[in-house]
Amino acid sequence: SPKSFQPNGASEEALRCEIEKLKQKDLALDQEIAQLLSEGYSLEELDKHISLLHEYNEIKDAGQMLLGKLAVIRGVTTKQLYPEYDLELSD
C-alpha cells in the first residue's frame, strides 16, 4: 500500500517534524530580516553584504588552498606559514 512506502526509510512523523523545523527556521529568518529592516538596513544592502561575504569566503578558500600547497612543498604545516605572511590564526 502507498502508506507502507517510506522514502529513504523516513517515517511520516519524521517528515512532519522536519517540515515543522523548516517552518520555524523560516519564521526566525523573517523575524531577523524584520529586525534588520527596523534598524535601517535595506534589502538591497543586505543582499550586497551577503554577496560580498560569499566573495570573501571564496577568496579566503583559495588562499587557504594555496597556503596548503605551499606547506606541502616546504614540508611544514600551514600554521607554521602564518607568521611569515603576517596572518593571524583566526584569519
Q: pLDDT tens digits, residue range 35-90?
A: 988 998 888 888 898 999 999 999 999 999 999 999 999 999 999 999 998 888 87
Q: Where are the alpha helices (DSSP H) in 1-91?
A: 12-38, 43-74, 78-81
> How many domains, the chain?
2
- What is the rounded distance in angstroms from the CA atom of residue 91 to the CA atom of residue 83? 12
Residue 2 lies in a domain: no
Residue 55 lies in a domain: yes
Residue 25 lies in a domain: yes
Domain span at residue 35 reads 8-41
φ/ψ (deg, to 5) at 90: -80, -10
Q: How far is CA 39 from the centre of its chain?
A: 24
Residues in the chain: 91
